[in-house]
Amino acid sequence: MLGSAYGIVIAMENIGLSIGPLLVSLMHSTSYKAGYFAVSLLNLLEALAGTALAVYLFHYDYTHSHVLLANSRRADAIQREEKRKARILSKPAVAPQQISL
């Protein structure tokens, strides 16, 4: 699970790093009067969005599983416990036995 999370983060980072320069060049070519103000505004909005998502992620983790700030041994234990609980909850209820008379 942790490897998948890192893979998703790196993929999102690569998408952002490839689209960012395209947006900046588009802003410079279409709105020369705005100049660096538009680019600075874009950077500010990206920083605010990243900060808001980080705060939300840490709040969600704090209220649910506490995995993000745990060391790897503790995080593995938390994940094993969650899987165990999921298995217990997913087991079908035992049907009552029918009594034949």
Q: For the chain, give every domain's residue range.
A: 2-81
Angstrom distance (rounded) from CA 29 to CA 1: 43
Q: What global pTM score does this model have?
A: 0.59
Is-contact 66 79, C-beta < 8 A? Answer: no
Specify the pLDDT at position 61: 84
Angstrom distance (rounded) from CA 22 to CA 35: 15
| Residues 66-90: tens digit of each pLDDT | 777 777 788 788 778 888 888 877 7
